[in-house]
C-alpha cells in the first residue's frame, strides 16, 4: 500500500481534539502530547516514556483541510491544531524521521532523542512501540509520511 492518501486519518475512529500549538512548525503526522499550562492546554512534540504512556494522551497532528491545507503544511506557534487520539487498529500516516529505513511490519515509536514529533524504528514489539508500519518507507533528505496501524 503506497502512501498516496492526502490525509493523516487513513482509516481511524479515534477521538478528535483541537488545541493551540505550543511551538512553531507542528506538522501533520507528528506525535504530540497535551501540555497543561496553568488553565490552558497546549500541544508539543514529546517522547513518551513508559510512565507517560499510562497518563498522557498520545495524539497525532492532522492536516487542516477545512482551510485547504494538506499533510505537508505545518502549523505556526499558537495556531489551533487538529489532533487525533487514535485507537488500537486505526490506520494513520505518521511522520517518519529522515534517514530511517522502515520495512513493512516494523514497529515505531516517537523519536526521543530530539522530541521533534517524528517516529523512529524500535527493534521489536516492546512497550515503547506505538505503531506498526503497513508499508515500506525510507525518507532521504526530509521527513516523510508512512501508513501505520496503531497498536
The pLDDT tens digits along the chain (151 residues) read: 444 568 899 999 999 989 888 777 889 999 988 776 666 776 767 655 555 544 456 789 999 888 778 899 988 888 889 999 999 999 999 999 999 999 999 999 888 766 788 999 997 767 778 899 999 999 999 999 999 999 9
Cα–Cα distance measured from residue 36 to residue 33, given in angstroms and rounded to the nearest whole number: 10
Domains of the chain, residue spans: 9-150
Give 75's DSSP letter: B
Contact, 132 vs 149, CB < 8 A? yes
User: For the whole model, what pTM was predicted?
Assistant: 0.86
Amino acid at each position: 500500500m503506497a502512501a498516496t492518501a492526502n490525509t493523516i486519518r487513513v482509516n481511524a475512529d479515534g477521538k478528535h481534539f483541537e488545541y493551540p500549538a505550543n511551538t512553531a512548525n507542528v506538522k501533520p503526522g507528528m506525535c504530540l502530547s497535551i501540555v497543561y499550562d496553568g488553565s490552558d492546554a497546549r500541544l508539543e512534540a514529546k517522547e513518551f516514556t513508559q510512565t507517560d504512556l499510562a497518563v498522557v494522551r498520545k495524539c497525532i497532528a492532522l492536516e487542516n483541510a477545512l482551510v485547504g491545507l494538506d499533510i505537508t503544511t505545518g502549523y505556526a506557534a499558537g495556531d489551533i491544531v487538529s489532533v487525533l487520539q487514535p485507537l488500537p487498529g486505526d490506520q494513520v500516516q505518521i511522520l517518519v524521521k529522515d534517514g530511517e529505513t522502515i520495512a513493512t511490519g516494523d514497529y515505531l515509536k516517537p523519536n526521543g532523542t530530539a522530541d521533534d514529533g517524528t517516529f523512529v524504528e524500535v527493534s521489536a514489539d516492546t512497550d515503547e512501540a506505538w505503531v506498526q508500519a503497513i508499508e515500506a518507507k525510507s525518507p532521504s533528505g526530509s521527513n516523510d509520511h508512512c501508513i501505520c496501524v496503531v497498536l
